[in-house]
Every structure is written in C-alpha cells, then in structure tokens.
Amino acid sequence: MELFHTCLKFCAQNNINSDRLPKKLSNLIDNLSDPKSRDREIILFRFKLSFAINPDLLFNYFYDDKEIILKFFKIRHYALRYFNETSLSLIQDIDIVKLLLSHNICCYYRLSEYSYEIRDDEEIVLYFIKKNSNNFIYASERLRKLKKIAEAAVLSPFGDGIFLLPNIFKDDYQIAYLSVIKNVDNFEFVSLRLRHDKMFLLDCIKNVEDSTSWFDNTIDLDYTSKELQNDSDVLIAVLRHEYNMSEDYNDVLYSVLRHHGNNISEFSDMIDFEKYRTLDIVEKDGFDLKDVSDKMKDDYDVAIAAVSNYGEGIQYLSARLQNNFDVAYAAVKNNGVAYEFLSGDLLFNHDIITTAIKTYCVMDFMQKELFNDRELLLKIFNAQTKYGFEYLPDEMKDDAELILASIYEENYNDNYDTISDRLLDDRDFIVKFIEKDSQIFYYMSERLKLDKELWLMCLKRDKYIYDEIPKEFKNDEDIINCLSEKLKRYYKLL
C-alpha cells in the first residue's frame, strides 16, 4: 500500500490524470485505490487523478469535510443535487453557498434561514433580494443602509419592495422614482415630501412602465396634495399617459376624473382639450399640422412639437410663430429646407443659417448682402463642407482663410480658376490646399509648377497625376518612388 501511495503521489504531483495513463495501469490504480475507500488521502488523490468518486461514500463519511465536498462539486456539477445531504455547518458556509448560487441552487429560499455572516455578504444578499424583495429585511444592518441593496429591492420582479426600506430611501428621489414607475401602488409608500413634489409626480406619471399593480397603471392621486390633485399639468399628464394606451378618449377622461374627484365641467374649464389632442397628433407627425385649426396653428407648444419632427411644417403656422426665433430654430434644426419659409430678420440670423446649412444648401436662398459678411461665411464653411468657394463674391476670392475653409473634398470643388492669381502663386496657400485637394495643381502658377516638393505632395494624394508632371521631373528618383509597382510598369519605368 505504501508503494501504491507513492505511485499516486507521483501521478498527482506531475498532473498525470487517468486519461494520460495506459488503460491497464489506470484500471490497476483505480482498483487498488478503491472507490469505496474511507481514506481521506486516497479520496483527495482520486480527485487529483480524475478518478470516479462514489457520492454515497462522500456524503456518508465526509459530509462535513469542506475541502472534499467543494472539490467534488467543482468537478461534478450535477452532484450539487446531493447538497442537502451535507452537514448543517456546510450548508451555512459562505463559499459553499456562493458555489450553489452560481448554479442557481438554494438550500433555503429565504435569506432569514442563513447565518449572519451570509446575510452580511453583498453578493449573496443581492441574489436573494433580486428574487424576492422581502429578503431585504433579513439582510444585515450594514447592507440595509446601502443604496445598491435598496435599488435591488425596488427593482425585484414584483417591484413592491419600497415599503420595506428605511425612511431615508423612501425620500430618495431616484429610488422612489424607480419604485413607482415599476409599480404604481408604491406611490403610497413614498415619503410625503416626494408625494407633494410636482416634478417627481410628473416624472413618475410620464414614465410609468406596464404596471405590476393588481388593478391598473395609473398613479392614485389621493396620496398627493389637494393642490396637485387639481393641477392642470398633473391631470393632463395622467390623461395623456392613459390616452396613449386607449382608443376611447371619453373612457380616459372618466378614468382621470375618478382619480381626482372633479366633475366634467370643472375639468373642462381647467384644460384645453383641443390643444392636448393636437399635441398628441403633431408629436407623432408634424405634417398633420396643416389640418389643425387656426387657433392651434398659433399655439407655441403645438408649433414646437410639430416642427421638431417636421421642420417644413413651419409654413403652416401663423405669421406670428413663423417669425418666432425658437420655432424657426427648431424647424431648421430638423430640416434646413425650413429656411425657405422664413422671413424678416430670421433670414439674416447667423445661428439659424449655420444650423440650416448642415442639412440643406441654404446659400441658394440667402440674401445677396449676406455674402459680404465674412464672419458668417466662415461660420458656414466651418459648420459643413459640402458647399464650396463657388459661392464667394469676387472680392473675397483673394481671401486665403475663406477659400481654405470652403474646400470640400478631393475632385469635388468647382471654379478653381476663380481664385486670385496672387494666391495661386502663394506657396504656403498651395501647400495647405493640396493637403485637402491635390487638383489645384492644374491652376498653380508656372513658377510653382517647377517646385518638385509640391508635385511629390500631389502624388502622395493621387498617383494618377503623373501624366501632368513636367518633363524635367518624369524620371526623378523621388517622383518614381511615389508610384506603385503597377504604375511603374504602366509608364515603363522599371
């Protein structure tokens, strides 16, 4: 047996498992080591050599041996089903519990049945709270003070954990908000301060999820102040939230009335139903603005909602709102085409123009005097790169900064020949131009066409301009090295 143990130790120390041993030797060792042996050392060697272990043997004789039980579970995950046969001390062992939870197995389904050490472990407590928020009350006092644990409780499947939380969390805006939008019934348990906070109430109403409430997903306004129960913004938020989920507008109205207790006439006096119906329509498609009443076409909120998703809709608004900066800016931000429908001072506004130019060539519709505004032209060219120096007036064709700012992309610029002769003979200007567009070589001054460095720069951007290079540079070694092997063969330079 001593020789056998020596053999086992040698195999274990050299990572020789049963798969690497000859079959006969493996069978011999397996028989000699006896799967039913109660010798702890032999059991550990069998683990090391990947030999089979008898589960009944382990749980009858080693049920309280943490090392052996952990090794067994890690090698044979299926055997976790035997876990309840281990000792009570191991069932309460933190390493064992974490191993079980990693395979979604629990000996106890309530956190209360575990030791204080386990109930003070953040990872384990989070696991149980995410399964059932009621486990929050069994977490250690230290963990119950953590915001992460409180959030897990309110986001548990039924979302009903806020009533279990300390008052400090019931008064926490984020936790209370998450709790209410998860389950509207939780509004009752939020702190009095938040229930009387108009912003908090509106946020919850507008963002409430498909509720896990037993009845509906409308926040019960009985738990807020009388002032907010009769606040038009709150009532409209409730109305619009329910209206989006219901085809029957009257049913929604009565549903809202049921919650705040006003009668229909009082509610109608407080709220402009036409406006909010129109808002619902134009927020979905601003094109429908053309079909609304003249009164609604002169409403600022309706205008902003419509042009924010259909900029061209500004043409359907009243003259007053067509000349409103906020409305015009929202319109051109959505679609630069809206610039065509503006008038008056808005046509000269730099912010309007530089916003519109990003999606539409408004330069075709700009007033002539605007092209003499150097500051505006620089803003336009810096805001986009689609429309080039062909729009510059003749007196600005000698402005290097403007022309360089207006360059679009290789081979796409027009009217190179309109650049002043002075700039076409300015080496610094040409170098900066080539960095964006090498086609300027056609228009460089005769003096600069004899500058080899400029041709090298052009070749690095476009190898096919070799044909245009002056004869004195055709066979220059630096020039030839810029060409690909294919082009060298094509031009018979090899």
Token readout for 34 is: 């006896």
As a whole number of angstroms, the distance between CA 315 and CA 323 comes to: 11
As a whole number of angstroms, the distance between CA 339 and CA 307 comes to: 12
Which range, 150-159, 245-254, 298-307, 366-375, has the best average confidence (pLDDT)?
298-307
Mean pLDDT to the nearest integer, 461-472: 79
φ, ψ dihedrals at 444, nearest 5°:
-60, 155
Token readout for 208 is: 């409430």
Dihedral sign computed on CA atoms, order 107, 109, 112, 117: positive
Question: Which of 51-65, 122-136, 232-246, 359-373 has the lowest average pLDDT?
Answer: 51-65
Q: Sorting pLDDT into bands at 50, 70 and 90, what band is 316?
A: very high
For residue 436, the model assigns a pLDDT of 80
Residue 246 has pLDDT above 50, yes or no: no
For residue 411, the model assigns a pLDDT of 45
Mean pLDDT to the nearest integer, 242-260: 52
Residue 222 has pLDDT above 80, yes or no: yes
Residue 493 has pLDDT above 90, yes or no: no
Nearest alpha carbon to residue 154 among 124, 185, 108: 185
Which is higher by pLDDT, 16 or 407? 407
| Predicted confidence (pLDDT) per residue in 269-300, tens digit | 555 667 777 887 888 888 988 988 899 999 99
Mean pLDDT to the nearest integer, 92-112: 69
Residue partners of 244: CB distance under 8 A and separation at least 6: 280
Nearest alpha carbon to residue 3 among 41, 32, 34, 25: 32
For residue 176, the model assigns a pLDDT of 92
| Predicted confidence (pLDDT) per residue in 326-340, tens digit | 999 999 999 989 999
User: 378 near 401, Cβ under 8 Å?
Assistant: yes
As a whole number of angstroms, the distance between CA 371 and CA 395 comes to: 10
For residue 67, the model assigns a pLDDT of 65
Question: Which of 105-109, 313-317, 429-433 has the lowest average pLDDT?
Answer: 105-109
Within 13 Å and on the Cβ side, how many CA atoms surround 228?
A: 22
Residue 452 has pLDDT above 80, yes or no: yes
State the alpha helices, DSSP H only, in 132-166: 147-154
Residue 173 has pLDDT above 90, yes or no: yes
Mean pLDDT, the chain, integer: 76
Mean pLDDT to the nearest integer, 368-396: 75
Residue 320 has pLDDT above 90, yes or no: yes
User: Per this entry, what is the length of the chain?
Assistant: 494
- Residue type for position 430: I
Question: Which DSSP string do the residues of 376-414 spell out, in sequence order?
Answer: HHHHHHHH-SSS-GGGS-GGGTT-HHHHHHH--STT---
Residue partners of 38: CB distance under 8 A and separation at least 6: 57, 61
Residue 247 has pLDDT above 50, yes or no: no
For residue 325, the model assigns a pLDDT of 94
The b/e string for 189-221 (b: 16+ C-beta within 10 A; e otherwise) is bbbeebbbbeebbbbbbeebeebebeeebbbbb
Q: Looking up tokens 């004195």, which residue turns up?
A: 472
